[in-house]
Structure 1
Amino acid sequence: MTSAAQSANQNAQQAARSRPVKIGARIGILAYGITHLLIGWLALQIAFGQGGEQANQNGAFQTISEQPFGKFLLWVLVVGFIAAALWRTEQAIWGYSYVDDKKKQVRKKGVSAAKAVLFVILAFLAGRTAMGSGGGGGQQQQATAGVLGLPGGQFLVGLAGLIVIGVGVYKIVRGWKTKFTEDMDLPSDQKSRQLAIRTGQAGYIGRGVATAIVGVLVVLAAVRFNPGESAGLDAALKTLAQQPFGPYLLILVALGFICFGVFSFFDARYHRV
């Protein structure tokens, strides 16, 4: 039994670390970057009062589907996202042997596990769009309404909002301190190296601000006991656009998403996989 379990574990580990999965992981990182480029473009349209598609992953995938060969490209993204999910799962279980600090290693494994789930979700959303099922809004409001109806639901929703705000702050700090470079073998060329670092900084900070806004909306929904105020990225960006100087702030956030998309091209090439 023990020998069979060890053999199965080794086979799973070898499969997760195989060359096709590693290539697919880089495609997945690249696909993630393309998604953020499109979200940034859609956010710019909102800032200039021309918003059409939702400024989130659903809107990005819908935009791709409307292009020539868009459905085919979406299926390529699905394969990339699945491969990236497998790679992140491998990291969550066996990865980061190069990290000496055990607490840091556990933290990195936890982040990889969360990202594996994220890539699975992205694969599902891209696949659903490729099959012609648009990603309608309202799911978050429905989920929030369900939780608010539970005993202690208001507290749980508020806690969830605070966690989302914390994630946003974490992204901002990670970007500011360039922590994202720890898992990359950056190019020796100074110009390329600086471009990767600066776009990564702007990208993480822009995404962090957007995430924190989503968290604030969730907290407000809990405080006011109104699930309608709980919304995702698209509503958060539109809420930002409605504030004083909001369009200018939204342009900065949109450029942050675009910078993250550009950074992802470097990440796809130089991330340790």
Structure 2
Amino acid sequence: MNTNALSMSARGQARRAARSRALDVGARAGFVARGVIYLLVGILALRIGFSDGGGKQADRGGAIAEIAEKPFGNVLLWALGIALAGMALWRLSEAAFGQAGPDGDKATKRAMAAGRFVFYAFVSYSVISYAAGDKGSGSGSSDKQTDDVTARALEWPGGPWIVGIAGAVVAGAGLWIAFRALARKYHKHLKMAEMSKRVRQAVDVVGVFGGTVRGVVFATAGGFAIAAAVQHEPGRAKGMDDTLRSFAETPAGPWLLVLVALGLAAFGLFSWANARWRKV
């Protein structure tokens, strides 16, 4: 066997190892955990839409704090953090060995997988740190964190340009997410043939609705960052909680926020569908 054949065989073995049963379980557990977070954020946003939310934050920190208050909440947080670590490892394997599917080896897809690995690794770390006793980790206000980061960035040379470009990237990503949801691009990632007709219809409802709303929220947050850069006012940038509350300040009033909240909850259900039918 020549050197090239040995190299190909080694890569094949590495790819199979990367897509082992353990990573499959980790990825699906991660989708379940992501679904829990989005479902809770949607519920918290609904509370804000119908009242003042009782001081709760409609963001990841609020979701973590909500879980911590429940019976066996700390155990649930450990499980959530470990599941998100499984998601991060799966994304890392995609970055290293490519995704499932015929075009999974594309450099752009690997780069996106690497970015998702960094994101889920950070979220997993923050949840586990909170469960381990660092109450300042994970549950902090996304709005305050956004204000602090934006204020520091605006002080840098070319800071407004940096913040503006970052906002444009987030807004563009949001529009891209919404477009992919509306175009049902997720079909190629799911085992649609294994679903009954009724299940496919339900998955499309939560996938299109939830994905579109998620994209709109990202695009809106990006727009606020651009406004902060143009006006050189860090307070114009908004985290998840303030971004969601801004929907209630439109002429549609709290009903638009209620619609967005239902969309985020729908995306949580769509994440659970991914846990069952995703091609890993």
TM-score normalised by structure 2 residue count = 0.89
Cα 1:226–1:198, aligned 2, differ >3 Å: closer, same or farther? Answer: same
Does 2:152 match 1:152? no
The answer for the alignment partner of 1:265 in structure 2 is: 272
1:93-115: CA deviations, max 9, x gaps?
2123632487xx33332322222
Does 2:97 match 1:91? no
Which residue type is aligned with residue 192 of structure 1? V
Q: Which runs of 5+ in 2 are unaligned?
A: none
The answer for the alignment partner of 2:85 in structure 1 is: 82
Query: Residue 117 of structure 2: SS of its match in structure 1?
Result: helix
Cα 1:18–1:88, aligned 2, differ >3 Å: closer, same or farther? Answer: same
1:33-85: CA deviations, max 9, x gaps?
01000000011111112313211111111101110011101111111111111
Displacement of 1:92 in angstroms is 1.6
Match of 2:220 among 185, 209, 213: 213
Which residue type is aligned with residue 172 of structure 1? A
Q: How far apart in 2 are the matches of 1:101 and 1:56?
A: 32
Task: Tell me the C-alpha RMSD between the 2 structures.
Answer: 2.4
Displacement of 1:116 in angstroms is 1.3
Does 2:251 match 1:244? yes
1:115-172: CA deviations, max 9, x gaps?
2122112202211321341422222211111111111111111111111110110111
Match of 1:58 among 57, 61, 64: 61
Does 2:56 match 1:21? no
CA contact (8 A) 1:65 1:129 kept: no
TM-score normalised by structure 1 residue count = 0.91
Match of 1:167 among 163, 173, 179: 173
Which residue type is aligned with residue 18 of structure 1? S
CA contact (8 A) 1:62 1:129 kept: no
Q: How far apart in 2 are the matches of 1:100 and 1:140?
A: 36
Q: How far apart in 1 are the matches of 2:113 and 2:213?
A: 21
The answer for the alignment partner of 1:41 in structure 2 is: 43
Does 2:146 match 1:136? no
Query: Residue 98 of structure 1: SS of its match in structure 2?
Result: coil
Which residue type is aligned with residue 130 of structure 1? A
Does 2:76 match 1:73? yes
Query: Residue 121 of structure 1: SS of its match in structure 2?
Result: helix
Displacement of 1:13 in angstroms is 4.7
Which residue type is aligned with residue 182 of structure 2? W
Alignment identity in percent? 38
Aligned length: 270
4+ aligned runs moved over 3 Å, structure 1:
5-16
Which residue type is aligned with residue 71 of structure 1? N
Q: How far apart in 1 are the matches of 2:258 and 2:112?
A: 29
